[in-house]
Chains A and B, each alone.
Chain A
Amino acid sequence: MSDDLNIKKTSSIKTKSSSVSGGGTDIDYVRPAELPEQDLYHGHSFITKWIFCQDAKVIGIQYTLTAVFTGVVGLILSWMMRMQLGFPELFPFLTAESYYQMVTMHGMIMVVYLLTALFLGGFGNYLIPLMVGARDMVFPYVNMISFWMFFVAVVVLMASFFVPGGPTGSGWTLYPPQAILEGTPGSGYGILLMLISLSLFVIGFTMGGLNYVITILQARTRGMTLMRMPLTIWGIFTATVLALLAFPALLVSSIMMTLDKVLGTSFFMPTIIKAGEMLSYDGGSPILFQHLFWFFGHPEVYIVALPAFGIVSDLLSVHARKNIFGYRMMVWAIVGIGALSFFVWAHHMYVSGMNPWFGFFFASTTLIIAVPTALKVYNWILTLWRGNIRLTTVMLFCLGFIVTFVNGGITGIFLGNVIVDVPLSDTYFVIAHFHMVMGIAPLMVIFGAIYHWFPLITGRFLDETLGKWHFWVTFLGAYSIYFPMHYLGFIGVPRRYFEMYDSPYMTSAVGMNEFISVAAFIVGAAQFIFFYNLVKSIRLGKPAGKNPWKANSLEWLTPQVPPEHGNWGEKLPVVHRWAYDFNVPGAKKDYITQTTPPSEVIEAEVEKT
């Protein structure tokens, strides 16, 4: 065994142990570089610098802006839906057709085009090279194409609003046979454009995803071991791997459905009698589609959850001035959740008419996933314990995340337990569950992350006062939308109901629906405070300077703020420790950056004692 690989000897995660081994320079030893410097293509013109740009940071921002644009569309759609549900008679133009189209587009946009693109495309691109100490993604050109594929996918998706028949109204789950038959709005061009857009998204994402994975695995800087990476990177990494393995199922089901639609094949289509006539389909299996969809769909919900888990860990640690509790457990939990998420998909299909024996298998695997997730929750709150909590806007969003995530996670446990799912499936309980755990919790993290990294991206702080308003309105508002909504589900109100109040026992839902709708308008409107804050602060925000939050991880340690193309100036940073050395006993400052060599820490200690 060669000595130079044995880095564990010279430095370990715990600063304590590295500082006991005495002075001398060899304690700072880090293996020499394995790889030559990366050649970068530097843009010259406006077009190569800002449009067809190969810099991951710019691509990240492009992804973010595009995703937020779709997010605003999704938000407006949710407003219109709530309008209908809360005040059914008010807007005659809200027909059942358009309602279902809105539900569908809202769901798909929010899950795939907003959250997935924002977390992986946006944060992934911006943060991965910076946090692992690379100059850029490993294949910047492919990375650029990835964004433009995504862009085209969004254009195709948005185009479906304007085609004859409108966008598809099949529900974001796109279940056949309904999705491609008349009787569902947008079953002509709408569904086709949706399928094409999804396929483009998958292809584009694959290009980006390969970049993220390989950058993290193969392009880390010296001293950056996997177990020193910030949890943000672990979350994004695992989510990307999930995406690379789960999106194929979506691609395949899209292709097959397209063929069913266009060529009249019968993959998912059994014999069907419509309007008294027998269609030419025969022998296909609708449940197969559901299996394929959820083989993608369940990992997909963790694809949006894992990056949030990772990011929130980092934000909590920085703003509580304390190391993240149980780092190694956190890493294993992320990886474990990721791996397990491929074995639980049919918990969305308990009442789909699949083989009833699957219920036992999938209920067990589903509840098992709760264990690593629970550990993460415990570790977050234990990170707060005996910390020094700065109640910044960022921290508030993290706390909001914990509350909403635990709430939504527990309702997930209801649904995961197969027999409990029977009465609750396809009711508003499910809607409440996933908005709490996916609509609100990760969005909280996104907002927190933007407040956190905005100073890095622009060099200026976002306004804290506006930020706090934004937080409280969003958190309290969203909580009061979705917490009561569970009880609609108990009553038995099914989801995807355009209106429902003539049933005797459902009349009591009217009042709640009005309340929910009003809350939704307010929460939505609060986002415009945020947009105002963003626009205002780019120019007028308080200048932040370098490393304003006193964080440890590499992205704050670039020579320039905001970092330039190539990130690191002359020399790549060298990493000596994990990213969570806050308030190390005996250290002079309350944080020790990842690049601080052990010998300096010892000096600090010596000075103090």
Chain B
Amino acid sequence: MTDTKKKEETSTHKIGIYLWIWGLLFVLSFFSYMVDWYNFQGLLRWSLILFFMFLKAGLIMAFFMHLFWERYALVNVLLWPMTAIACFVGLMVAEGKYTVFSRLFYFFVGG
């Protein structure tokens, strides 16, 4: 994202770019659907799901929501708080695993 590129696109954007993103979203959604269709499992499934998810989310935010063209002040204000969520998610994954371990280890019909 260089300055010059930004400048050209600030005011209004060609319709093409929206159609492109639109198409891409279709394709990506189709791919993530295919992950299920071909019944990938395990790590592969997870990485594919997350990859397509973040790509789609990124495209929507960047272009449909115009974040790509916004000034960094706004972009940063919006993205940094996500670290709190990331931390929350990470810890809750650990917590979920710990709980299920405790249940499986000591119980025989679940908690």
Contacts and interface: CB of A to CB of B under 8 A. Distances in A.
Direct contact of A and B (CB under 8 A): yes
Given A287-B99, A343-B87, A271 B111 contact: yes
A592 B22 CA distance: 57
Interface string B83-108: 01001100110110011000000000
Given A287-B99, A354-B98, 9 more contacts: A270-B111, A271-B110, A271-B111, A283-B111, A285-B99, A295-B88, A342-B87, A343-B87, A354-B95
B81 A245 contact: yes
A550 interface: no
Nearest to B111: A270
A355 interface: yes
Interface of B is mostly: helix
A361 B81 CA distance: 19
A358 B99 CA distance: 13
A357 B111 contact: no
Contacts of B81: 245
B6 to A, nearest CB: 15
A295 B99 CA distance: 19
Contact of B98 (A342, A355, A361): A355
A291 interface: yes
A288 B95 CA distance: 9
A287 B84 contact: no
A596 B110 CA distance: 71
A245 B99 contact: no
A355 B88 contact: no
Given A342-B84, A342-B87, A287 B111 contact: no
B94 A357 contact: yes
A339 to B, nearest CB: 8
B95 A245 contact: no
Interface in A347-404: 354-355, 357-358, 361
Contacts of A283: 110-111
Contacts of A295: 88
A245 B94 contact: no
A357 B91 CA distance: 10
Contacts of B111: 270-271, 283
Nearest to B99: A285
A343 B98 CA distance: 20
Contacts of A270: 111
Chain B contact-residue range equals: 10 to 19
Nearest to A213: B77
A291 B84 contact: no
Chain A contact-residue range equals: 10 to 19
Interface of B: 81, 84, 87-88, 91-92, 94-95, 98-99, 110-111
Contacts of B88: 291, 295
A245 to B, nearest CB: 6
Nearest to A249: B88
Contact of B84 (A288, A343, A357, A361): A343
B75 to A, nearest CB: 14
Given A270-B111, A283-B111, A285-B99, A355 B84 contact: no
A285 B111 CA distance: 9
A358 B91 contact: yes
Given A245-B81, A283-B111, A355 B95 contact: yes
Nearest to A362: B91
17 contacts: A245-B81, A270-B111, A271-B110, A283-B111, A288-B92, A291-B88, A291-B95, A295-B88, A343-B84, A343-B87, A354-B95, A354-B98, A355-B94, A355-B95, A355-B98, A357-B94, A358-B94
Nearest to A353: B102
A291 B94 CA distance: 13
A225 to B, nearest CB: 13
Nearest to A295: B88
B41 to A, nearest CB: 24
Contact of B95 (A287, A342, A343): A287
B92 A291 contact: yes
A245 B80 CA distance: 12
A342 B87 CA distance: 9
A346 to B, nearest CB: 8
B87 to A, nearest CB: 6
B103 to A, nearest CB: 9
A271 B81 CA distance: 36
Q: Which 6 A-B pairs have the closest CB atoms?
A: A342-B84, A355-B98, A270-B111, A355-B95, A355-B94, A245-B81
A337 to B, nearest CB: 14
Contacts of B92: 288, 291
Contacts of B84: 245, 342-343
Nearest to B92: A291
Interface in A2-51: none
Contacts of A354: 95, 98
A355 B81 CA distance: 25
Interface string A276-298: 00000011010110010001000
Contacts of A346: 91
A245 B111 CA distance: 32
A483 to B, nearest CB: 35
Interface string A223-246: 000000000000000000000010
A584 B93 CA distance: 56
Interface in A112-162: none
Nearest to A246: B84
A488 B30 CA distance: 64
B90 to A, nearest CB: 10
Interface in A407-458: none
Interface in A252-304: 270-271, 282-283, 285, 287-288, 291, 295
Nearest to A343: B87
Contacts of B91: 291, 346, 358, 361
Contacts of A287: 95, 99
Nearest to B80: A339
A576 to B, nearest CB: 24
A355 B101 CA distance: 10
A358 B92 CA distance: 11
B51 to A, nearest CB: 27
A239 to B, nearest CB: 15
